[in-house]
Structure formats: structure tokens, C-alpha cells
């Protein structure tokens, strides 16, 4: 296993790091005023990035992307993760990145022209509407949203929530049951629904820990009532919604995990800087001189570096042995990396004292917005069950 990267990749990562620090991080304080208010500045930073050839790092060159391997994109994702706005500035933010990937893979030429091309150009955003408040999202084979054929149209009715970025999105990829009599995993299909279709209603941006957010930085409740779209808006084959969703989630989890490692790096730097500069007074010295805090710093370093290696191993396995071979590693890193990141954010807040919970620092943003990391793309418990099942199975077969 070799995680060595080319000289050009090393150079790119250094340049991106400076770019994030110089152009992206300074925008963060304005995020408190909302995403839409910040969009003009974000567009300027996006334009700067594109001028330098940094756009869509997750996609192949033929699609206008940077043509990186999964491992290389993981490293880029880590650098971008240093700011909550990093991925947006290079056009690889969730959920658009995943939607681009499935449209590239499964979209018809007409779907690519209508939905994918403006998304790749950064002119539109999209959302992914699968989860429903009434049903357990961790077992999404049970869905209340139905789509029935009526002549040349699909007619959709249903209720979704946690549709990230629906506010201002041009279209939604909606998971709806079209094959009610099929096996559970073959009942749902993906249907492309422009958000201005009559009957598509964004009920609200759900308030999360006191913050409803807006635009890309929000999660909406959505109701679909008698929503009619052409039959050609079916993405991929009927009944293959879950198969397509699975294909979307594999590399997506690597991107998330490396983004979380980027958060860890940023938070670690903040925590360390605070430790060496905060003087307790009365001759006690700085926080860094307190044994407890010094031990936290050392422990955090060990956790971050070891977790990164695990994530890179999963990325390397996808690159060299395929998605199936990486399945266990992907589950392992999904719950472990989220845990390491969230514990670190909490610890950094503790080091900052009261300042840590204010919105004067990015720590509180991470605390609010990243708690979901242990829930989305499969809750911890589901991934732990996957890993444990495989371990037990190998042990039973004498392959441990």
C-alpha cells in the first residue's frame, strides 16, 4: 500500500491550502448573515479558483473536473475541509457532488443537457430528497413518497425532510416508490424534479440547534402534491433507486471523512494556538503549560494522524481494488472519523472556554453543523453493525 503522491499533487495541495487560508477563511464571519447574503463574495472566490484550474476535483477531466484519483481527491477534500465554505468554492459541495456523479453515470443526453450541464458550470444547485419524517431513514427501503405513471408523466406525492440545500436549488433528485410490488430494494426510483414544478413546496428550512440557515447551508422540509414531471425525468432504470444511491454513497463517504480530517486540522491548529497564547495569570503560565491540555494536544494529534491513515487506506483500496473491496473500511471510517472529529471540536471548545461557544469562532459552527456527521450517510450504529457482522462471519469461517 503506497500513499505517496506526485510532486505536482504536493504542490497543488500547498497552493490550495494557501488559497483556503487567504480567500475562503476570511469569508467565514459573514456566514452568520446567511448563505444568500454571502453568495456574491463566494462567486468571486469560485471564479478565482476556476481561473487557476481548480474546479470539480471529484470529477474526471472529460466532465470538466480535475481528473484526480479517489485518494488524491481525498487529500484535496481534507484541505478544503479547513473551512465550512471550502468545498463550495471548488464546486464539490454535498449534495451537488453526488448528484453530478449519478447524472454523469446514469443520465440520458437530454437529462445531462437540462440538469447536469448548468450544475457542472456552477450556475445552479441541486438537492437529494430521500429521507422522510414518517419513516426510519436508516432503512430507507420504506418510503411513503409514491410516483405513478399518468400517460407521459410521473405524478409524485410525498413528504421529505432534511433535503439539504433545497432552498434555492434548481432541481431535486427525488426517491419515490414506482414499483410497489417489487422486492423492497427494487421499489424506489430516482426522478428529477425541477423545484419550480407546481406542487413542489419547500415547507420550511428546518431549524437546527436554533439556526434554520438558508440556501446551500440549510436542510428543508419538502412536500410534493400532485407534482407532474415528464416520464423522461426518470434517472436510471425504474426500481434501481437504491442501487444508484449506493453507488453515490461509497466515494461520498471518503470525501466526507477527509473533509472531517480537514476540520480536525483546522480545529487542532486553533486549539494549539489558543493553548500557547492564553495565559492563566498569577504565574500559572499558558494553557499549553498545563499538563491536561498538553496531553489533549498530543492525544488529538495521534487520533487525527491515525484516522487519516485509515481513511487513506479506504481511498487507496477503492482506487486499486474497487468499491466492493473497500466496503468494510468505508463503514469503519464513517463512524470512527466522525467520532474523532466531534470529540476534537468539543475539546477545542473546552480549551477556548466561553469564547468557544460564541459565534466569534468557527468552532461553534462546527459543533452545530457537524453533529449530523454521526447520523447522515448511515448512522454510526448501522456502520458498526456492518463491520461487526463481517468480523463475526470471518471468525466463524476461521478466516479471522
Ligand X SMILES: Cc1cc2nc3c(=O)[nH]c(=O)nc-3n(C[C@H](O)[C@H](O)[C@H](O)COP(=O)(O)OP(=O)(O)OC[C@H]3O[C@@H](n4cnc5c(N)ncnc54)[C@H](O)[C@@H]3O)c2cc1C
Question: What is the residue whose three cell numbers read 428529477?
Answer: 192
- Cβ closest to ligand X, residue 12 vs residue 192: 192
- For residues 52 and 18, what is the distance between their CA atoms, to the nearest angstrom? 13
Cβ at position 342, least distance to ligand X in Å? 13
- Sole window of 15-23, 122-130, 189-197, 335-343 interacting with ligand X (rule: CB under 6 A): 122-130
CB of 193 to ligand X, least distance (A): 13
Query: CA 237: distance to chain centroid?
Result: 25
Name which position in 381, 392, 393, 394 contacts ligand X (CB under 6 A): 381
Residues 6+ apart with CB under 8 A from 298: none
From the list 366, 261, 266, 346, the residue with the least C-alpha distance to 307 is 261
- Binding residues for ligand X, rule CB under 6 A, total 19
Using CB under 6 A as the binding rule, the residues of this chain from 315 to 374 that contact ligand X are 372
Task: Determine which residue in the list 19, 128, 216, 242 makes contact with ligand X, applying CB under 6 A.
Answer: 128
The residue range among 44-52, 124-132, 266-274, 309-317 that interacts with ligand X, by the rule CB under 6 A, is: 124-132
In whole angstroms, what is the distance from residue 169 CA to residue 392 CA? Answer: 44
* Stretch 70-99 residues interacting with ligand X (CB under 6 A): 95
x-or-dash string of contact with ligand X, 159-188, rule CB under 6 A: ---xxx------------------------
Q: Cβ distance 180 to 141 under 8 Å?
A: no
Q: How far is the CB of 250 from ligand X (least distance, A)?
A: 15
130 near ligand X, rule: CB under 6 A: yes
In the complex, minimum distance from the CB of residue 173 to ligand X, in angstroms, rounded to a whole number: 9
Single out the residue of 47, 385, 388, 395 in contact with ligand X (rule: CB under 6 A). 385
Residue 210 C-beta: closest distance to ligand X, Å = 15
Instruction: Give the shortest CB-340-to-ligand X separation in angstroms.
Output: 18
What φ, ψ does residue 360 adopt, rounded to 5°?
Answer: -75, -15
The answer to whether 53 and 98 have CB atoms below 8 angstroms apart is no
CA dist 109 and 283 (Å) reads 70
What is residue 190's DSSP assignment? E
Nearer CB in complex with ligand X: 95/251 = 95
Question: At 144, is the secondary structure helix, strand, or coil?
Answer: coil
3-state secondary structure 14-81: HHHHHHHHHHHHHHHHHHHHCHHHHHHHHHHHHHHHHHCCCCCCCCCHHHCCCCCCHHHHHHHHHHHC
Of 128 and 316, which CB lies nearer to ligand X in the complex structure? 128
Min dist CB 51 to ligand X, Å, is: 30
Report in angstroms how near the CB of residue 92 gets to ligand X at its nearest: 15
Options 15, 138, 225, 393; binder of ligand X; rule CB under 6 A: 138
Q: Does 219 bind ligand X (CB under 6 A)?
A: yes
Residue 101 near residue 248 (C-beta atoms within 8 A): yes
Residue nearest to ligand X (CB): 137
Among 64, 137, 144, 194, binds ligand X (CB under 6 A): 137
> Please, are residues 325 and 317 in contact by the beta-carbon 8 Å criterion?
yes
- 204, containing H or E segment: strand 200-205
Q: Taking CB under 6 A as the rule, does residue 278 contact ligand X?
A: no
Q: Which three cell numbers stand for residue 286?
A: 499558558
SS3 of 116, please?
helix
Selected range binding ligand X among 71-79, 131-139, 314-322, 387-395, rule: CB under 6 A: 131-139
| Piece of the chain touching ligand X by CB under 6 A; list 73-81, 129-137, 185-193, 260-268 | 129-137
**Residues contacting residue 29 through CB under 8 Å, at least 6 positions apart:** none
Measured from the CB atom, is 43 or 381 closer to ligand X? 381
Separation of alpha carbons 91 and 216, rounded Å: 12
Residues within the interface to ligand X (CB under 6 A): 95, 128-131, 136-138, 162-164, 219, 372, 375-376, 379, 381-382, 385
Amino acid at each position: 500500500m503506497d500513499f505517496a503522491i506526485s510532486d505536482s499533487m504536493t504542490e497543488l495541495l500547498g497552493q490550495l491550502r494557501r488559497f483556503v487560508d487567504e480567500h475562503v477563511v476570511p469569508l467565514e464571519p459573514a456566514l452568520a448573515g446567511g448563505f444568500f447574503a454571502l453568495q456574491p463574495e463566494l462567486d468571486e472566490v469560485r471564479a478565482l479558483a476556476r481561473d487557476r484550474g481548480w474546479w470539480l476535483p471529484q470529477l474526471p477531466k472529460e466532465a470538466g473536473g480535475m481528473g484526480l484519483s479517489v485518494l488524491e481527491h481525498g487529500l484535496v477534500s481534507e484541505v478544503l475541509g479547513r473551512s465550512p465554505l471550502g468545498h463550495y468554492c471548488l464546486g464539490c459541495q454535498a449534495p451537488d457532488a453526488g448528484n453530478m456523479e449519478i447524472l454523469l453515470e446514469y443520465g440520458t443526453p437530454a437529462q445531462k443537457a437540462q440538469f447536469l450541464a448548468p450544475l457542472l458550470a456552477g450556475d445552479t444547485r441541486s438537492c437529494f430528497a430521500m429521507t422522510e419524517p414518517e419513516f426510519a431513514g436508516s432503512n430507507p427501503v420504506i418510503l411513503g413518497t409514491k410516483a405513478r405513471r399518468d400517460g407521459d408523466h410521473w405524478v409524485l406525492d410525498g413528504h421529505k425532510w432534511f433535503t439539504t440545500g433545497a432552498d434555492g436549488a434548481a432541481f431535486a433528485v427525488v426517491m419515490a416508490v414506482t414499483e410497489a410490488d417489487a422486492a423492497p430494494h427494487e421499489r424506489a426510483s430516482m426522478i428529477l424534479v425541477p423545484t419550480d414544478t407546481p406542487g413542489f413546496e419547500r415547507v420550511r428550512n428546518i431549524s437546527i440547534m436554533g439556526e434554520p440557515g438558508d440556501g446551500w447551508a440549510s436542510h428543508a422540509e419538502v412536500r410534493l402534491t400532485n407534482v407532474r414531471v415528464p416520464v423522461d425525468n426518470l434517472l436510471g432504470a425504474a426500481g434501481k433507486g437504491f442501487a444508484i444511491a449506493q453507488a453515490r454513497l461509497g466515494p461520498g463517504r471518503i470525501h466526507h471523512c477527509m473533509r472531517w480530517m480537514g476540520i480536525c486540522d483546522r480545529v487542532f491548529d486553533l486549539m494549539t494556538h489558543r493553548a500557547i497564547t492564553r495565559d492563566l495569570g498569577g504565574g500559572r503560565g499558558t494553557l499549553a503549560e498545563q499538563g491536561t491540555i498538553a496531553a489533549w494536544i498530543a492525544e488529538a494529534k495521534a487520533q487525527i494522524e491515525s484516522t487519516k491513515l485509515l481513511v487513506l487506506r479506504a481511498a487507496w483500496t477503492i482506487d486499486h481494488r474497487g468499491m466492493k473491496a473497500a466496503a468494510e473500511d468505508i463503514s469503519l471510517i464513517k463512524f470512527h472519523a466522525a467520532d474523532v472529529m466531534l470529540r476534537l471540536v468539543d475539546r477545542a471548545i473546552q480549551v477556548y472556554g466561553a469564547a468557544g461557544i460564541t459565534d466569534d469562532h468557527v468552532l461553534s459552527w462546527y459543533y452545530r453543523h457537524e453533529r449530523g456527521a454521526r447520523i447522515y450517510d448511515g448512522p454510526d450504529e448501522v456502520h458498526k453493525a456492518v463491520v461487526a457482522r463481517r468480523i463475526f462471519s470471518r471468525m466463524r469461517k476461521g478466516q479471522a
